[in-house]
């Protein structure tokens, strides 16, 4: 990689390491007060698919001094039983939060399991009421990947207020939350997807392009305005003559040529996503503490959260 291009890279590993420093200090404080964070990861059936995610989460948790308990249940577990387990974790004071690993077997509706996790224990920020809170500009516990992607943009000197941004991909947990997180910061946001007539018309106007579709090579350099930021959320495994390789949704070489900043894959949004999960765990522990103290102090508990 040329120096000119290396200079444009947004280094996710370095950003994540910085975030973990702050988180580690927060964890110490929480421990001192009796609120040591503990995460439970739930896999069902085939562990291999989620293996890398679980391993990365566990290692990152250990680095900041958080307990991490990976659980795997058999592929034929019933949805009712799984819901019962989640409810048990919701009322267990030792558990700060729950991570539902995907994929799940077909007989389990992932969304039903995710929404069974109490919003205050929903570290992934996927519960509808947590998603709804973001729409209301309450950004405390957002979906990790979306928050991490926006964090990458914040590492550039670009001012988010008034920034023209195109988001490619409109999923409920990545594309749309990126759009409202950016709106909350004052950006003008365009959301494109597979039904958009001409994505390039929009991406070429943008000061920053986010892509979260899951299609290698979808965004090429000719779709990017010179000097724009490219934030690549895709993670795709492709075959090359040198064997399998992990790449993003942007064609790195042509985009890096034109862009002002670009996230590599791997080593871009991914590590920051894991750090964001840990930061959500700190936030969750604090909100649970606040909730507990309200309930057990003379003050009346608040109506919300």
Give the annotated binding-site residues for NADP(+): 169-171, 235
* Residues 196 to 215 in contact with its own copies, rule: CB under 8 A: 196-197, 202
Whether the CA torsion 86, 92, 94, 96 is positive or negative: it is: positive
116-155 footprint of its own copies as x/- string (CB under 8 A): x----------xxxxxxx-xxxx-----------------
Buried b (16+ CB within 10 A) or exposed e, 112-139: ebbbbbbbbbbbbbbbeebbebbeeeeb
Alpha carbon distance 145, 151 (integer Å)? 10
Among 180, 210, 252, 261, indicate the residue that binds its own copies (CB under 8 A): 180
Residue 302 touching its own copies (CB under 8 A): yes
| CA-to-CA dists, residue 158 to 36, 197, 207, angstroms | 37, 28, 9
Residue 160: name the closest of 180, 136, 131 by CA: 180
Q: In what order do the strands lie in the sheet with 97-100?
A: 67-73, 38-44, 97-100
Q: Are strands 164-168 and 208-211 parallel, antiparallel or unpaired?
A: parallel
Residue 44 touching its own copies (CB under 8 A): no
Alpha carbon distance 123, 118 (integer Å)? 10
Stretch that binds its own copies, among 189-197, 216-224, 271-279, 284-292 (CB under 8 A): 189-197
| E-assigned strand segments in 45-124 | 67-73, 97-100
Half-sphere exposure of 261 (CA within 13 A, CB side): 18
Among 189, 208, 219, 265, indicate the residue that binds its own copies (CB under 8 A): 189
Task: Tell the smallest beta-carbon distance from residue 7 to its own copies (Å).
Answer: 28
158-177 footprint of its own copies as x/- string (CB under 8 A): ---xx-x-----x-x---xx
Residue 288 touching its own copies (CB under 8 A): no
The nearer residue to its own copies, 58 or 305, going by C-beta atoms, is 305
Whether the CA torsion 49, 130, 86, 39 is positive or negative: it is: positive
* Residues 78 to 107 in contact with its own copies, rule: CB under 8 A: 79-80, 83
The nearer residue to its own copies, 101 or 130, going by C-beta atoms, is 130
The annotation places the binding site at 169-171, 235
Buried b (16+ CB within 10 A) or exposed e, 79-88: beebeebbee
Stretch that binds its own copies, among 109-117, 252-260, 264-272, 290-298 (CB under 8 A): 109-117
Residue 242 touching its own copies (CB under 8 A): no
The nearer residue to its own copies, 94 or 193, going by C-beta atoms, is 193
# residues contacting its own copies (CB under 8 A): 45
Residue 20 touching its own copies (CB under 8 A): no
Which residues of this protein are in contact with its own copies, per CB under 8 A?
A: 79-80, 83, 111-113, 115-116, 127-133, 135-138, 161-162, 164, 170, 172, 176-177, 179-180, 183, 186-193, 195-197, 202, 300, 302-304
């Amino acid at each position: 990689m040329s120096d000119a291009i290396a200079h444009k890279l947004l280094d996710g590993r370095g950003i994540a390491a910085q975030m973990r420093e702050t988180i580690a200090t927060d964890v110490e404080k929480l421990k001192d007060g009796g609120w040591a964070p503990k995460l439970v990861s739930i896999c069902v059936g085939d562990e291999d698919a989620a293996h890398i995610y679980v391993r990365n989460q566990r290692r990152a948790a250990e680095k900041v001094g958080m307990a991490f308990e990976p659980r795997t249940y058999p592929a034929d577990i019933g949805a009712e039983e799984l819901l019962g387990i989640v409810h048990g974790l919701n009322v267990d004071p030792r558990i700060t939060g729950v991570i539902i690993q995907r994929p799940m077997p077909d007989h389990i509706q992932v969304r039903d399991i995710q929404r069974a996790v109490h919003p205050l224990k929903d570290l992934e920020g996927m519960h509808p009421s947590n998603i709804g809170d973001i729409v209301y500009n309450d950004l405390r516990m957002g979906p990790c990947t979306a928050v991490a992607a926006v964090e990458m943009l914040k590492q550039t000197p670009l001012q988010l207020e008034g920034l023209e941004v195109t988001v490619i991909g409109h999923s409920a947990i990545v594309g749309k939350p990126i759009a409202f997180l950016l709106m909350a910061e004052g950006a003008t946001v365009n959301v494109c997807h597979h039904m958009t007539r001409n994505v390039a018309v929009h991406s070429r106007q943008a000061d920053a392009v986010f892509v979260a579709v899951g299609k290698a090579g979808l965004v090429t350099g000719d779709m990017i305005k010179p000097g724009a930021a490219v934030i690549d959320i895709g993670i795709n495994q492709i075959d090359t003559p040198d064997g399998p390789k992990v790449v993003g949704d942007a064609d790195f070489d042509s985009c890096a040529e034109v862009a002002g900043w670009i996230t590599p894959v791997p080593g871009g949004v991914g590590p920051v996503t894991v750090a964001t999960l840990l930061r959500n765990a700190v936030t969750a522990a604090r909100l649970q503490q606040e909730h507990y103290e309200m309930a057990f102090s003379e003050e009346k508990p608040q109506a919300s959260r």
